Amino acid sequence: MTAGSPADAGDRTVREAALEVLREHGLTTVFANPGSTEVSFLTDLPGDLRFVLALHEGSVVGMATGWAIANDRPALVQLHTTAGLGNAVGALATARVNRAPLVVLVGQQDRRHLAQEPFLAGRLEGLAGDYPVWVKQPERAQDVPGAIARAHVEAVTHGGPAVVIVPMDDWEASAEETARRAAPLRVLRPVPAPPPDDPAAAEIAALLDGARSPAIVAGSANDTEEGWAALVGLAERLDCPVWQESFGARAGFPQDHRLFAGHLPADRPRLRTTFAENDVVIAVGAPVFRQYQYHPGALVEPGTRTVLVSADSDEVGRSPADVAVYAPVAPFVDRLAGLVGRRTGGGPAGRAVEHPEPPAPGEPLTPAHVFTALAARITPDTVLVEETPSSRPEMHALLPARRPLGFLSAAMGGLGFALPAAIGVRMARPERPVIAVVGDGSSLYQVQALWSAARYGAGVLFVVLSNGRYAIMDRLAEQHGGKPPWPAFDDVSVSALAHGLGCPARRVETHGDLVAALDEIVPTLLVRDEPVVLDVAVAAGRTFRP
């Protein structure tokens, strides 16, 4: 039998060998939107593999991303040749920047006539650009199981999507025992503690001890139980303010702690002002420093020294920090906390956040009213998945993250993440209440995900802030000194779309309706298996500034 030819009766196929690899690595939930090039793999899928359908590839990858982040292990994705991979590229970019490990199988036309570029043949290897951490179309059908094992290794070690392109006829080819795996069955990630005499920890400790006024920036890479505990220990020893990185995908420090100072501004003038009194700033699992719109000048004043602690080699390589430490974040910070001297008396006493009063009769709701109502009702272990660009500062101020995985967003900045990611988080962590807070414009990028939430019993509360326009874009156009050419879309009903996709929804237009809905729904979030959309009418302009 030649390589790639169909297996005889009784022979093990490439598909069977690949299924063994998937089981070995715990890749038994398949997030997919399939096409013809995937049929030979998916038909008669064994009962121990769970198939999860989404109606668009952005939702497929978004759900898998939320699942992978919540489980801290790779999720399995299957996409359909050029159209499927192309539709998913934006979501794959988000997964890469959010450091979500994904094993992505992409279908390809039959290997036996690829040279003639038949219908549905894809030029796939470069289609997603540099966002996959690894891409491979195996040379032979028999190398597919090993490539899947290798993709698992790459996804784990590099924290992102690893892609395997599989021609559709490969699944039915005869497998070879020697080609079953070409990578370790398990990749262990020990987190070594720095030795007592670690020179890097000693140098940074001396720098902090010699500082007149240190400050800390906490980042997404510190969002673990160990990371939070270590950074709380360091901050309390230094008795110094802790800032959250700007536009972070996750929270790196408890935002209800007395030392939490708020979220960093994402422009250089305000950043220089923020750190004007600090002579040493140490960023822990966060870049130095994430920017948005360009402004000239330095990131910090000349008298301020910056330190980066990161386990991301790319982040270390591009950082303008004065000193960069490449190390596992939590154990290094824990060691650092044990080396620095204790300061007392000079630290901040927490932020005073003033919640807005309910609107007067006849006045419209604002996002801040919604966040205040949520803050009064949700538990500390609630996972908030955010995608509301025009009201993100208010949400940060009024809905602080109080537990690891308490906040999740798209570090890439692209829209269409929150709805599917919240579903994936809820599927992975049913013991955590999950609320997605999104703008109506954002929701429309992946509104199809609501069908999957209803179909698979993901009991997420989707709070959609509906102002009928791209409010953040309107604001930017005004700052630019002109008027936008894009129209409002206030004739679009998110609640009607949700109903059409089989997801329960209700329209909320008054504060009384909002409070009644939240009082009914929020207490059920821990146990509910039915999603619900609150389509909340809010004013377009910002009426609250934290």
Q: Do 126 and 257 share a domain, yes or no? A: no
Q: Do 522 and 374 share a domain, yes or no? A: yes
Alpha-carbon span 509 to 526, nearest angstrom: 26
Ordered alpha helix ranges (H), 51-137: 57-71, 81-97
pLDDT level of residue 531 (50, 70, 90 thresholds): very high
Indicate which CATH number applies to the domain containing 60.
3.40.50.970
Task: Give φ, ψ of 243 to 5 degrees.
Answer: -105, 150
Mean pLDDT score across all residues of the chain = 90
Q: Do 171 and 219 share a domain, yes or no? A: no
Q: Which residue has the higher pLDDT, 417 or 116?
A: 417
Condensed to tens digits (0 to 9), the pLDDT of residues 367-390 reads 999 999 999 999 999 999 999 988
Average pLDDT of 472-491? 77
Length of the chain: 546
Domain that holds residue 49: 14-179
Q: Do 85 and 161 share a domain, yes or no? A: yes
Q: Do 89 and 147 share a domain, yes or no? A: yes
Instruction: Please determine, for residue 131, whether its predicted confidence score (pLDDT) is greater than 70.
Output: yes
pTM, rounded to two decimals: 0.91
Average pLDDT of 77-87? 95
Task: Give φ, ψ of 104 to 5 degrees.
Answer: -115, 115
Cα dihedral: 527, 533, 538, 541 (round 10):
90
Which pLDDT does position 3 carry in this prediction? 44
Q: Would 189 be classed as within a structural domain?
A: no
Instruction: Please determine, for residue 352, whether its predicted confidence score (pLDDT) is greater than 90.
Output: no
Helix axes 329-339, 225-238, angle to 10 degrees: 30
Q: Do 110 and 230 share a domain, yes or no? A: no
Q: Which residue has the higher pLDDT, 313 or 352?
A: 313
Instruction: Calculate ∠ Cα 246-201-255, nearest 5°.
Output: 30
- How many domains does the chain divide into? 3
Domain boundary residue, one of 339, 357, 375: 339
Indicate which CATH number applies to the domain containing 217.
3.40.50.1220
Which pLDDT does position 190 carry in this prediction? 62
Q: Would 211 be classed as within a structural domain?
A: yes
Of 145, 153, 125, residue with least CA distance to 137? 125
Q: Would 512 be classed as within a structural domain?
A: yes
Instruction: Please determine, for residue 544, whether its predicted confidence score (pLDDT) is greater than 60.
Output: no
Q: Do 248 and 333 share a domain, yes or no? A: yes
Average pLDDT of 158-181? 85
Going from the C-alpha of 251 to that of each of 73, 93, 220, 223, 341, the distances in angstroms are 19, 20, 6, 6, 26
How much of the chain exceeds pLDDT 70, in percent? 92
Which pLDDT does position 365 carry in this prediction? 93
Q: Would 470 be classed as within a structural domain?
A: yes
Instruction: Please determine, for residue 351, whether its predicted confidence score (pLDDT) is greater than 90.
Output: no
Instruction: Please determine, for residue 1, whether its predicted confidence score (pLDDT) is greater than 50.
Output: no
Q: Would 125 be classed as within a structural domain?
A: yes
Average pLDDT of 540-544? 57
Which pLDDT does position 44 carry in this prediction? 94
Under DSSP, the state recorded for 532 is: E
Q: Would 404 be classed as within a structural domain?
A: yes
Of 211, 205, 230, 306, residue with least CA distance to 264? 306
pLDDT level of residue 2 (50, 70, 90 thresholds): very low
Question: Are the CB atoms for 453 and 460 separated by under 8 Å?
Answer: yes
Q: Do 163 and 248 share a domain, yes or no? A: no
Average pLDDT of 342-346? 79
Instruction: Please determine, for residue 347, whether its predicted confidence score (pLDDT) is greater than 80.
Output: no
pLDDT level of residue 472 (50, 70, 90 thresholds): confident
Instruction: Please determine, for residue 9, whether its predicted confidence score (pLDDT) is greater than 50.
Output: no
Lowest mean pLDDT among 178-187, 253-262, 434-443, 536-545: 178-187
Q: Do 296 and 149 share a domain, yes or no? A: no
Instruction: Please determine, for residue 543, whether its predicted confidence score (pLDDT) is greater than 70.
Output: no
Q: Do 401 and 526 share a domain, yes or no? A: yes
CA 364 vs. chain centroid, Å, equals 32
Q: Do 207 and 302 share a domain, yes or no? A: yes
Q: Do 167 and 281 share a domain, yes or no? A: no
